[in-house]
Amino acid sequence: MPYRALAPHLHGAADAVLKYFIANHGIKNSNIVVEEGVDPNVEFAPTFTLTTDDKELICIEILENLYPPEIKDFVLGCKNHSVPAKLYCALLSEPEDQVETRAYQFATDNGIGLLGVDPANYGIRKINNNALSLSLGGLRTFKMGDYPSSYRAALQSAIDTFKNGNPGKGCLDVYQEIEHLTRRIGKRAASISGGLRSTASFNWDTQAWANIAEFLKTHLDTTVCKCPDLRPQLFNRIIGMTEYRNDVGHKPKTLAKRIERDRLAKTRFEGAMDELLILINASKPLRLKP
Amino acid sequence: MKSQNLREIDIDLIDRNPDNPRIIFRPDELSSLMASIRKHGVQVPISVYRKEGRYILIDGERRWRSSIKLNRKTIPALIQEEPDPLNNLLLMFNIHALREQWDLLTIATKLPKVIDLLRSRLGKQPTEREISEETGLAFAVIRRCKLLIELPQKHKDTILKELQKPKSQQQLTEDFFIEMERSLKTVENNMPSVVEEFGKETIREALISKYKAGTINNRVDFRQIAKIARASNVGADTRRAQNSLTKLFTKENSYSISDAFEESVGTAYVERDLLTTLTTAARQMALFEHSTLDAEIINALSQLRLEIDRLLEGE
């Protein structure tokens, strides 16, 4: 490979790592670039960038020491600009060398894959192979303690699904929690005398989620139900969300579309998490059973 | 240079100069440079010359490499005229000799080519002064380089491998080999039979092995080998000195340079130093009169007289 910036003594290790990725990911030669940036806004050019059929970028950096400051800047840059790159750091080290705990933690926290390259024979070993898309890893940190315990496992699973490369499904999982709660609010209000201003019969289990939210927006009597925060504006926001409910998305055809999809998914996921918390708190006076 | 102009040029149109003596680019050093470029940009333009629609680097390979890593598309460059092969090399030597500390091996690798090209230009073997004037390198640096040039290739490879490590982790450094080679040259000149007995390479292997094992723990100790080889200069027993060197150059023991020095010439060098000190002191004392001495000197002289009396009476 024609390296320009990589130190000459790391060339052998770099060749071995590239061969390993080609063998394991079936990347075509035309989808491999050497020492080129992944995005004009990200000030770093990894040693290799491989593009998968899903328009995901696999970035590989060959290192002697974990982690030079430029790696941290790269991670931050990809998160900020929603670049769908998975980063692998290939570390030149003896098999018995231990990765420093702090460095290992940094890799885990940021979804960076770690490989060890034996300098004697360029044998590759996995240290931590859990590389996640950095565009999705930039998700805001949520305080799980703010959510009732009955929600926490499902929400944590939604976050993991999102970060593990399935943002559409992650969003869907949160939307389902909101939908389920909306239906329970309707049922509960209907069981309170005068809780709804309409006597029309309504199937809370089978009606479309958007219709339920629309109905509650119009007919919920917040005074009788003693839940003043379940305002029409909140239901309006939920109605707006229902149109994304099944928008899990198809595989993006270009890198630009993937960046756009991830950026949108991040905004939607964070928005849905926030609205769920607002809805949970607003419906507390109804004393819903989990 | 006849003319040069400053321009922002496409980073992808630049190629490294195959004659650049610098061959080591430590990632940790590039990392610091990248941090600086990210913050302040490339403050000092690189130097290039134009060739066949592209640009060849004269100066600034680290800035160029760092800029590639930082995903920069252009870099400020001074564009010069294409130099002839000798000037191409000399330019790089002068730029770097004046500005930064190069690894000696990188200079040593290119120095023979400079000497060859100078020989063609001058029509004779260039003197050290001429090499120094043309390259900007000090005499001492040229001599140290020559010691490295003469090393067998496998040791040069060892140095190269060490140089790629961060400085704090380097063990068999250029300085180690330079000190060892210097001392072996002295042994070769003063006690050639010892070197002939083992062969120079076997001696190197033994000393490297002892250094790695910690039997030799300071590369400056090699200077004591030279002192042992010059045993006759201090009136020490040369046969004993030869025996000590023979034992030292044998791989399979834990006999150190200090052991060899103490057993052979240590006392002789102490005596010589004492003699030098006493002779100098006697010469200086002759310049004083009793009336000019202050109490401190009188006290020191009294103590010295006690030691002198003790030694002479013991005789």
**Strand, coil or helix: what is A31?**
helix
Q: How does DSSP classify residue B295?
A: H
What's the pLDDT at B138? 83
Candidate from B23, B25, B34 with C-beta closest to A70 = B34
- Answer left, alpha or beta for residue A131, where phi above 0 means left and psi between -120 and 50 means alpha: beta
Chain B interface mutation, best of A1, A3, A4, A35, highest count of B Cβ atoms under 10 Å = A4
pLDDT band at B244 (very low <50, low <70, confident <90, very high): very high
What angle, 0 to 180 degrees and rounded to 10, lies between the N-to-C axes of helices A255-282 and A149-163? 180
User: Concatenated DSSP letters for A42-62?
Assistant: S----SEEEE-TTS-EEEEEE
For B70, the closest of A7, A44, A68 (CB atoms) is: A44
ipTM of predicted assembly, 2 dp: 0.70
- What pLDDT score does B1 carry? 47
**Contact call for residues A151 and A280 (beta carbons, < 8 A):** yes
Q: How far apart are the CA of B154 and the nearest CA of chain A, in angstroms?
A: 16
Instruction: Tell me which chain A residues have a C-beta less than 8 angstroms from the C-beta of B23.
Output: 8
Helices (H), chain B: 27-40, 61-69, 85-99, 104-122, 128-135, 139-149, 153-163, 174-190, 192-198, 200-213, 222-229, 238-248, 257-264, 266-285, 295-314
The whole-angstrom separation of Cα A44 and Cα A65 is 17
Q: What is the pLDDT of residues B138-176, one digit of tens each?
A: 888 889 999 999 999 999 999 988 887 777 778 889 999
Cβ atoms B305, B299 nearer than 8 A: no
Q: Which residue has the higher pLDDT, B208 or A252?
A: B208
Interface of A with B (CB under 8 A): 4-5, 7-10, 35-37, 40, 42-45, 63-65, 68-70, 73
Measured between beta carbons, which residues in chain A are less than 8 angstroms from residue B70? 43-45, 70
CA atoms lying within 13 Å on the CB side of residue B233: 12
Burial status of residue B89 (CB atoms within 10 A of its CB: 0-12, 13-18, 19 or more):
buried
pLDDT of B88 > 70? The answer is yes
What's the pLDDT score for residue A186? 94
> Does the pLDDT value for residue B73 go beyond 80?
yes
Would the pLDDT of B21 be above 60? yes
A137's enclosing H/E stretch is helix A134-137
Distance CA B210, CA B176 (A): 13
A68 contacts B27? CB cut-off 8 A: yes
| Mean pLDDT of the residues in chain B | 89
Name the burial class of residue A136, with classes exposed (0-12), middle (13-18) and buried (19+) by CB atoms within 10 angstroms of its CB.
buried
Mind listing the pLDDT tens digit of every residue in chain A (290 residues)? 789 999 888 899 999 999 998 888 888 888 899 999 999 999 999 999 999 887 889 999 998 877 778 888 899 999 888 888 999 999 887 666 666 777 777 787 788 888 889 888 888 887 776 788 888 877 888 999 999 999 999 999 999 888 877 888 899 999 999 999 999 999 999 999 999 998 888 889 999 999 999 999 999 999 999 999 999 999 999 999 888 776 656 677 788 888 888 888 888 999 999 999 999 999 999 988 76
DSSP B137: -
Q: Is B74 left (phi over 0), alpha (psi -120 to 50) or beta?
A: beta
* B41 neighbourhood in chain A, CB within 8 Å: none
- Order the strands of the A85-92 sheet from edge to edge: A32-34, A48-51, A57-63, A85-92, A113-117, A124-128
The pair of three-digit structure tokens given for residue A82, joined into one six-digit string? 């929603």
Distance (Å, whole) CA A184 – CA B265: 98
β-strands A124-128, A57-63: how paired? unpaired
